[in-house]
Structure formats: C-alpha cells, structure tokens
Structure 1
Amino acid sequence: MKIFIFEYITGGGFIEENLPIPLVCEGAAMLLSVIKGLINSDFEINIILDYRLIDYKEYFKDVKVEFIKKKSEFDGIFKKYLEESNYYLIIAPEFDKILEKLTRIAEDGDLFNRKNLGCNSNSINIAGDKIKTYHSLNSLKKYLPETEDCKIRTDLEILNKICKDINYPVIFKPLDGVSGGGVSLIKNKNQIKKGIDKIIANTNLDSFIIQEFIQGSDSSVSLFIKNKKAFPLTLNYQFIQLEDPFKETKYNGGYIPYIAESMDTKEIFDLIKHIPKIISGLNGYIGIDLIIGDRPYIIEVNPRLTTSYVGIKELLLEDLFSQTILNSDINIDLDNSINNVFFKRLEFKIDKNVDIKDFNRNPYKEDFVTPLFKFENKLTGFMVLKSNSLENNINKLKNIQKYFKSRIS
C-alpha cells in the first residue's frame, strides 16, 4: 500500500522564493505528525522535500523522500507520486487557491482512482473562501459574526459606513488568508487605509471581508470525517495575537483540551457536526476556528490539516488515517493519563556561524516534533509539551526558553 503525503511549504511550494520560516516549521510539524501515525503500519510512504531541507533528512528516514530543486520539476514529480500511490493527503494553504488547485490535479482524469484522505476540491472551493463559507452556513446564522464582503478599491467613506453599521472595532481579513496573515483589528476610520494596505500585501484577490469583532476565547474544534459522518476530537485553545494594521497578527500555538467556562463542550461539538452536512465533500481531518463568547461563533472552516493536529496526535491511541485506509470503524481513543498538551513554535536569533547539530543535541530534544531549523540568523522548531496541567507545561516552556537564550547569548 503506497501513500503520498504532500506538504506544500516543505515540499517545494516556495522552491524559487525565500522559505517562510514560520510556515516551514508548522508544515514540517504537521507532515511529521502524519508520518508518525502511519509508519507502524505496513505502508510505503512517499514525500517531496525542498532541497534546502536536505540537512534535516535524518528526520524523514522512515519514508521515501525525493528532493526538488527547480520549479519546473514540480508538476512532474507531484503527478508521479500521485500516479504511484493508492492514497494521498495534501496539506497546503488556501491562499491563491493552492490547496484547491492541487486537489483538482489529484482528482483529474486518470488519477481519479486514487483515494483522497482529505477534502475534495468542491468543498475546498467553499471552505477556503471566507465569504463563501459565511453564505453557505447561513442556516447557522445565529452562530456567525456579522460579515460583509467588500472590494479592496471601495471608497474609504463607504468602508467607514460599513464599519459603523457593524460597530467599531471590526476585523479586516483577506478571503484566503492563513495564520493571521493580513488580519487587523480596526478601531476607527483612521486605520482603514492601513488595514487595506495590509490585506493587499497578503492576497492577490480584489475582495476582503469586514467582520464583527467578537469578545471571547479564541478556540477551535478538530473534527474527523469519514463517509460523511463527523467525529469531534477535541476543543482546543488558540493563542491569537490580534493586532492593529501597524503590526502583524500572529498565531502563537495553543493547548488541548480546552474547557470553556460558559458552555459544555458537547454543546459545541453538536453545533460543529452540522458543518459537514452543509458543506458537502469535507473529509478526513478539518479544523473549525471559533470564538466562544455568549455562544460559540464560527469564524472559519479549515478544509485541511491544522497545527492543532500536532498536539492531538500526542493524545490519540489509534491513528485516524490508518483506520481510514484499513477501512476500520473510527475509534476516537484518547490517552486519559495526559491532562494537557501544549504546542507552540519557538524562534530565536542566533549567530550565522553557529553549529546547528549542537543545538539539535539539546536536552529538550524529545519535546520537539521537528528538527531545529536554521535560517540565516534564526533558529526555529515546533514543540509539544505533555503533562498533567497547563501550569506545568507553561513552566517547562519557560525553562526551555531560558536554556536556549543562555546558549545563544
């Protein structure tokens, strides 16, 4: 049984551009987490990696790797592994319709007999566009923030009126943004122009959304779907650093499970289970971003693997993708001995001449699910901490940060 797992950022998507450091780290974390769940089964796993990651090949020793060096090679290599595989999973961002385009290639013609472990292209077309998602979930309007679709070239006075009608502060978002790219909290008319500039820098689309600002807890639900049946996995807390137009909004990891004070987790799960019934074609693992205030508000549907999966994988006693491939009943069996899983990308500035191998021999190596990547003067890695409490994990995080800062200074 051959399985092709393709992660866009690490797999050559930026082959002739500078690698985006945060996305490389998060992409590698997701890729390695999926591989970890499959390697104990009798599967041959194939992946593609950007040649600039060749120094980290030992972390992918259990799979067949092909390194890509040129953009002109991409289509041929991508299709080759699709054609050779029985199953495929595509992990890619929604911006520029990348995830949708790659999935359509995989679904096309002679490749159609390969089985997709993720969502189909039609569902990605909807869920990968924030305004299409909003309109498609109209039957759940009580649980949606007020949202308006706007053109980037719209007159500032008209945009100001829309913001006033929704009520300041509001959120500006690209239709296809990921990881907080282009997102701003707009507090008044004077910030609108800068908010538009920020969106233009993060999307090629000519539209964006203005959304009601909801006061509450940033969270998400991880959902696994098989044969149109939805299996909620966990409610997750997300550390979102929401900024005005003059700074970058950032995703800073999260923890699981999250217990909301205002409502029962089952109520939230029951709401989320409606989404795959409305957006046909959602399949495998998806993430639903929420803000939990006076009720759960559905913010986004991510029709792909999300970074929360990296934490969830540490709790799952049985791999969900293996169960799907083997056509077993889905069994959501979590390790109850672990009360908290905390996950976050760490980044440090270092001297360009430092030996990366020395850092990858650090005493906290087992807490990282990725290698420590070195890019020019930066060191980054994705960390997962497990313990009986969030407090213990936060304390360990502080110790890890202290250790690396002492080694660097």
Structure 2
Amino acid sequence: MGMPSILITEYFVSTFNPYISEHNLLAEACGMVISLIKTFRASSTNIMVTVSRYLANTIKKIFANVDIVVIDEDKYLDEVELLKDLVDFVVAIAPPTHLVAIAEIVKNKFLGPSFNIVKSLSNKYDSLVILRKCGIDVPRTLICSNSNECKIRELDPPVVVKPSMMAGSECVYIINDLNKCKKYVDMAIKCDPTRRAVIQEYIPGFHGSISAIFHDGVPRLTSLNLQLISIDDNKVRFYGNILPLRSTRHVYWTLDVINKMMCLSELKGYIGLDVVWNDSGMYVVEVNPRFTTSGIGIIELYPGLGRIILGREKPQNTYLGKEVSGYAYIVKKVNSMKHIINYDKLCLEGLAYGIAKTYNEAIERVLNSNPGAIKTLPYDIKSSSLISSDNY
C-alpha cells in the first residue's frame, strides 16, 4: 500500500488576489498552510495544496516537493470538487459558508467532523445552543436579521456584536452603550453572508482558545491557548497566541469542556473553541470546526500532530502541556499589514512564531516582534494565574 494522499486547501491562500483581497489575512493563512504541510510531510503522506496564481511561486520556494495546484480563484468550490477524487483525505480551512460547502462536497474524505456537525458548529448562534445542551457554559446570546427586531435590552451591557457566519475578528464589536448598539448590529448584518448578526453578553476575563483533535469521536490531544486580543475603539483585533497554559485549574476546565463535547457524535479532526474564563469558570463563546492559527504553535511544539489527525497515533485525551516542554508563540509582526505591497514577503514573514523555554520568554518574543500586540489587552498578560506551573 502506498502513502496516503492529502489535499490541503485554505480558502484565502487559494483565492488571494492582491488587487481585491484583504492583505491583513494573508500572514495567518500562509502560516497555517505552511504548518500543515510540515506536519503531514512528517507523517509520510503525499501532499497536494491549492493556491492562487499570485502565491504559487511563494509556496514553491519553501516546498519544492509538494504538488502545488494553481486554481481559478473564481471557481474555488468547483476546483475542490474535482481535486477531491485525486486524494484520500481533505483538510480545509475556510470561512463558515465555504467550509460547510466543502464538507458536503468531499464527504467522508474530510478530515474533520461530519457535514451536519460542521454546519451546526459553524453558525455562531446554533453552535452555542448545541453546546449549552451538552452542559457547557456559554454566554447569553441573541440572533437577528433586522436591528429593529433585536431584543437587545434582554442583555446587560457590554455586549459583543458579530456576524453569524464569519471567521476571525472581522466586523466584531464590543458595545458598552445599548443605545448605540443598533448601528453596530446593522454593520455586522451587512458583513454576514446570511445577513444575520449575533449579539452576545460580554464575559470579562482572560481570552483564549481550546484546540482539540478528535479521532473515532474521542479527544486525543488538547491545548489551552492564550489569545492576544485587543479591544480598541469598540473593535476586536486578534494578534496571536501563547500556548499551552498549564495551571491546574485551567487544564481542569479545558478537559471538562472537551469531555462534554463528546455528547456530539461524529467528532473528528481538529476543532477550535474560543473561550473566556474568570473566577466563575470557563465559557465557550465561539466554535471553529477546523484548523486554527493556534495549530501553528502546536505543530512547533508537537511536529507529529498530523499523525494524530490521521489516526495513526491515538493518545487518550492527552494535554499538550504534559507532552512537551516550553511555550509556543504566534504573533502578527505589524498592527496593520495593508501597506505592505510585497505579498510574497507578507505571506512568508508577516507572522512570527517559534518556541520559548518559559512563558515570560514567550512574552518577550511577542514584544520583540510587535510591541503593540499586548498594548490594549483586556487582561493582565503577566498574571500569576497564567504562569502557574502546578502539576496536574
């Protein structure tokens, strides 16, 4: 039997056009693709990667032995449907509407949850309804398609306003005055491909994410990652991660959330959960049923992640901080990268990531790469609760 073949397809890298695309998304997108290529190449697989014509030479510079497929940016889903027949598995990173479409197109070749689970978890409202039924703490959340019909007064300020089917921090706002909320709801609705907005109570505390890899419905490897999130002028901006956190309480909360996730059937592959925690506990505020930026750091620390995703290694609910030493950091190098005309350089150098021996060293690496990344964090990045070295 020959080596299995995998198609890695990232929407932004595959459809990038420097004349119309948002340049500030490129560094993260390229970083995720590069990391996935590394881990699956280390897992002895044949790799095919979709790229736009503008990035083909960029990816070829670092991976000469990878099958680079240049696709028509305007026919992305059609191209994926054709390519799926040439491989054994598909790993996809895409905005929610496109991710749902890919899961339906590639069916059981998708290295992720089933189509029905992807569809449910990609919606920022439906996903929280499902998690609440699983016994997971989530914030109070509303959904509406018309700001005049939103029952915003049911929530206490501040609130988070965001599109229901968008990825990342685009069109996400923190609003303290409910009298001004209508304007931001309209802005979020306009951003959303389904023309709906989610209004969610804001949970004060530390912002992070959980990365969990499932196989056969069982969690195999889990990590809690600190998110470098700024709140400035009502806008939420993502700058990077430091991972994994290791305090006893944080690990307990994290594994409790993941164990409760098992109330869902057909869980498979990498799943990301955005979380906030404080003294009251941990709350899941959003779900990404796909590989996320935190995965770049996980692969730095655990290069064999691809083998777990493929099911070749089957650890039982192992926590990353127990398996490896040190901390990974990922950070956008500049606050705004739109002014960088050289997208080749932006793709390869716009994101800084690596390994530090200690948590404090990871902070220093972040500061050296982008001092602004922790300037307006809504929490104290040097809190003793984050650098605890308790045993668990």
Aligned to 2:205: 216
- Could you report, residue by residue, the CA deviation over 1:68-126 in whole angstroms, capped at 9, with x for unpaired residues? 24524x445323321011111111121xx11001111112xxxx5xx321222111111
Query: Is the counterpart of residue 384 in structure 1 residue 353 in structure 2?
Result: yes
Preserved CA contact (<8 Å) 2:9 2:92:
yes
Alignment of 1:85-124 (within 5 A): 85-94=87-96, 97-107=97-107, 115-124=109-118
The 2-side partners of 1:383 and 1:88 are apart by: 27
The 2-side partners of 1:34 and 1:352 are apart by: 25
The 2-side partners of 1:372 and 1:16 are apart by: 13
Aligned to 1:329: 314
Ranges in structure 1 where 5+ consecutive residues have no aligned partner:
357-370, 403-409
Task: For residue 352 of structure 1, report the CA deviation from its aligned partner.
Answer: 7.2
SS of structure 2 residue aligned to 1:274: helix
Aligned to 1:200: 189
The 1:266/1:23 distance shift into structure 2, 3 A limit, reads same
The 1-side partners of 2:369 and 2:14 are apart by: 29
The 1:170/1:68 distance shift into structure 2, 3 A limit, reads same
Aligned to 2:256: 270
Preserved CA contact (<8 Å) 1:232 1:269:
no
Aligned to 1:23: 25
The 1-side partners of 2:130 and 2:311 are apart by: 33
Task: For residue 326 of structure 1, report the CA deviation from its aligned partner.
Answer: 6.2
Preserved CA contact (<8 Å) 1:237 1:254:
yes
Preserved CA contact (<8 Å) 1:15 1:71:
no
The 1-side partners of 2:187 and 2:364 are apart by: 35
Preserved CA contact (<8 Å) 1:2 1:46:
yes
SS of structure 2 residue aligned to 1:154: helix
Task: For residue 141 of structure 1, report the CA deviation from its aligned partner.
Answer: 5.5
Aligned to 1:368: none
The 1-side partners of 2:338 and 2:18 are apart by: 25
Moved more, 98-107 or 381-390: 381-390
Find 2:295's aligned residue among 290, 309, 332: 309
- Could you report, residue by residue, the CA deviation over 1:272-311 in whole angstroms, capped at 9, with x for unpaired residues? 2211423x33311111111102111111121000100000
The 1:154/1:48 distance shift into structure 2, 3 A limit, reads same
The 2-side partners of 1:342 and 1:388 are apart by: 11
Preserved CA contact (<8 Å) 1:186 1:244:
no
Preserved CA contact (<8 Å) 1:324 1:330:
no
> Which AA in structure 1 matches 2:351?
F
Alignment of 1:351-366 (within 5 A): none
Task: For residue 139 of structure 1, report the CA deviation from its aligned partner.
Answer: 2.8
The 1:243/1:140 distance shift into structure 2, 3 A limit, reads farther
Task: For residue 40 of structure 1, report the CA deviation from its aligned partner.
Answer: 3.0
Aligned to 1:187: 176
Ranges in structure 2 where 5+ consecutive residues have no aligned partner:
372-392
Task: For residue 11 of structure 1, report the CA deviation from its aligned partner.
Answer: 1.3
The 1:217/1:39 distance shift into structure 2, 3 A limit, reads same
Preserved CA contact (<8 Å) 2:189 2:197:
no
Task: For residue 201 of structure 1, report the CA deviation from its aligned partner.
Answer: 3.8
> Which AA in structure 2 matches 1:205?
T
The 1:71/1:394 distance shift into structure 2, 3 A limit, reads same
SS of structure 2 residue aligned to 1:285: strand
The 2-side partners of 1:388 and 1:213 are apart by: 34
The 1-side partners of 2:277 and 2:370 are apart by: 30
Task: For residue 207 of structure 1, report the CA deviation from its aligned partner.
Answer: 2.4
The 2-side partners of 1:129 and 1:191 are apart by: 25
Task: For residue 47 of structure 1, report the CA deviation from its aligned partner.
Answer: 0.9
Task: For residue 223 of structure 1, report the CA deviation from its aligned partner.
Answer: 0.5
The 2-side partners of 1:38 and 1:148 are apart by: 40
Aligned length: 363
Percent identical pairs in the alignment equals: 23
Query: Is the counterpart of residue 166 in structure 1 residue 166 in structure 2?
Result: no
The 2-side partners of 1:176 and 1:166 are apart by: 21
Normalising by structure 1, what TM-score? 0.80
> Which AA in structure 2 matches 1:10?
V
The 1:274/1:349 distance shift into structure 2, 3 A limit, reads closer
> Which AA in structure 2 matches 1:290?
V
SS of structure 1 residue aligned to 2:263: helix
- Could you report, residue by residue, the CA deviation over 1:156-187 in whole angstroms, capped at 9, with x for unpaired residues? xxx4xx43332111111211122112211111
SS of structure 2 residue aligned to 1:237: strand
Preserved CA contact (<8 Å) 2:331 2:366:
no
The 2-side partners of 1:85 and 1:225 are apart by: 21
Task: For residue 193 of structure 1, report the CA deviation from its aligned partner.
Answer: 2.9
Find 1:146's aligned residue among 140, 153, 157: 140
The 2-side partners of 1:98 and 1:383 are apart by: 27
Aligned to 1:373: 346
The 1-side partners of 2:337 and 2:139 are apart by: 39
Query: Is the counterpart of residue 6 in structure 1 residue 9 in structure 2?
Result: yes
Moved more, 2-11 or 322-331: 322-331
Aligned to 2:120: 126
Q: Which has the larger radius of gyration?
A: 1
The 2-side partners of 1:198 and 1:282 are apart by: 33
The 2-side partners of 1:70 and 1:138 are apart by: 38
SS of structure 2 residue aligned to 1:200: helix
